[in-house]
Amino acid sequence: MTYPFQLVDVFGDGPFTGNPVAVVAGAADLDTAVMQQITRWLNLSETTFLAPPKDPRADYAVRIFSLTRELPFAGHPTLGTTHAWLVAGGEPKHPEMIIQECAAGLVRVRRSGSRLAFAAPSVVRFGAVEPAKLAEIVGVLGISREAIVDAQWVDNGPGWVAVKLGSAEAVLALDPARSHPQTLDLGVVGAYPAGHEAAFEIRAFFTDPHGALVEDPVCGSLNASVAQWLIASGEAHAPYVVSQGARLDRKGRIHIDHDAAGDVWVGGETASLFSGVCAASLGV
Residues catalogued as catalytic? 46
| Other residues' Cβ atoms within 10 Å of the Cβ of residue 156 | 22
For residue 219, report the phi and psi dihedrals to the nearest 5 degrees: -125, 115
Residue type at position 161: V
CA pseudo-torsion sign 157, 208, 153, 79: negative
DSSP the chain: --EEEEEEEES-SSTTSSEEEEEE-S-TT--HHHHHHHHHHHTSSEEEEEE--SSTT-SEEEEEEESSSEES--HHHHHHHHHHHHHTT---SBTTEEEEEETTEEEEEEEETTEEEEEPPPPSEEEPPPHHHHHHHHHHHT--GGGEEEEEEEESSS--EEEEES-HHHHHT----SB-SS--EEEEEEEPPTTSS-SEEEEEEEE-TTSBEEEESS-HHHHHHHHHHHHHTTS--SSEEEEE-GGGT--EEEEEEE-TTS-EEEEEEEEEEEEEEE-S----
Determine contact, residues 262/4, Cβ cutoff 8 Å: no
Q: Rounded to whole angstroms, how far apart are CA atoms 181 and 217?
A: 22
Q: Are 274 and 7 in contact (CB under 8 A)?
A: yes
